[in-house]
């Protein structure tokens, strides 16, 4: 085999396949089959006028309920990654595509009969979870690339260690400086948070003070070195803060999607009880 062929082979081997493309879009195909089957069955077996209480409506409702339980299990499944066919990536791929299929199957189960009742509330909550799931797909496809570009090949721990190393250098460089300059550097070391609000960031204040002192009538020779270190720290802080903001966005999505999922499970139980015991 030629060198060019070997290179292409290696490139093919290490090519990353995301969860949406997992298994050659296997779960997209399964979801499409389910959707086409549900629509065909609705046109073939649903009575006129349509009713969610028909035998076919109950069948669709049973399928939808089982899908909701299975999809909700992803939160548990994520904690136990195993090799083989059912990898975490395969499970997430199934979760995404079957979740979208669920929206159609559940809609057909309702027979397009909506009102101000528990059943429509359950349906609305389910659509909210599916919509938030689609938002999550967008975030988890786009955000890792943004995180990777922002990190500049540094891990989160390395970013924090870089800031700590700069603080140590600033502490040593500020020892021979004037009391005002040294106090500004100490403020940078003590009050430069990564998370939360940064309006009173000690590093930003220190940069301003050091620059003012450098423009003074008798600038200290050590101020140039401190100014350079503060500028490096400002860049390191900006990178770490962007990293924290991106992670916060991903976590905020979970704070919506997960509680909404539990709400759907509770509403589903209430819906089933109401149908079979109070109908």
Residues 225 and 222: their CA atoms lie apart, in Å, by 6
Radius of gyration of the chain (CA): 29
Is 11's pLDDT higher than 50?
no
Contact 86, 228 (CB under 8 A): no
Residue 16 region by backbone torsions, left for phi larger than 0, else alpha for psi between -120 and 50, else beta: beta
- In this prediction, residue 142 has a pLDDT band, given cuts at 50, 70 and 90, of confident
Contact 202, 188 (CB under 8 A): yes
Query: Average pLDDT, stretch 67-72?
Result: 92
| pLDDT greater at residue 71 or residue 91 | 71
Residue-level pLDDT at 13: 38
pLDDT digits (tens, 9 = 90+) for 181-217: 999 999 999 998 887 665 678 999 999 999 998 887 7
278 is written with which tokens?
A: 């109070």
Percentage of the chain lying above the pLDDT 90 cut: 49
Contact 132, 257 (CB under 8 A): yes
Using the CB atoms, write b or e for 109-136: b if 16+ within 10 Å.
bbbeeeeeeebeebbebbebbbebbeeb
Percentage of the chain lying above the pLDDT 70 cut: 87
């Amino acid at each position: 085999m030629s060198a060019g062929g070997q290179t292409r082979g290696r490139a093919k081997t290490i090519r990353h396949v995301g969860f949406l493309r997992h298994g050659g879009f296997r779960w997209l195909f399964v979801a499409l089959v389910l959707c086409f089957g549900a629509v065909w069955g609705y046109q073939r077996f649903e009575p006129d006028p349509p009713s969610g209480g028909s035998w076919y409506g109950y069948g669709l409702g049973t399928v939808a309920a089982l899908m909701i339980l299975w999809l909700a299990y992803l939160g548990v499944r994520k904690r136990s990654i195993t090799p083989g066919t059912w990898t975490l990536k395969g499970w997430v791929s199934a979760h995404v595509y079957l979740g979208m299929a669920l929206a159609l199957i559940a809609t057909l189960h309702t027979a397009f009969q909506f009102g101000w009742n528990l059943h429509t509330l359950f349906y609305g909550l389910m659509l909210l979870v599916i919509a938030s799931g689609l938002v999550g797909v967008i975030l988890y496809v786009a955000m890792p690339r943004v995180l990777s570009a922002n990190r500049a090949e540094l891990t989160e721990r390395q970013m924090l260690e870089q800031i700590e190393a700069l603080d140590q250098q600033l502490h040593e460089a500020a020892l021979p400086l004037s009391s005002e300059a040294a106090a500004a550097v100490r403020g940078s070391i003590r009050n430069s948070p990564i998370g939360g609000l940064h309006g009173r960031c000690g590093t930003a204040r220190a940069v301003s003070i050091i620059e003012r002192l450098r423009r003074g009538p008798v600038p200290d020779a050590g101020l140039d070195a401190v100014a350079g270190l503060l500028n490096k720290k400002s860049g390191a802080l900006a990178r770490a803060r962007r990293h924290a903001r991106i992670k916060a966005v991903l976590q905020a999505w979970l704070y919506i999607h997960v509680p909404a999922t539990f709400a759907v499970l509770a509403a589903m139980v209430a819906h089933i009880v109401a149908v079979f015991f109070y109908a």
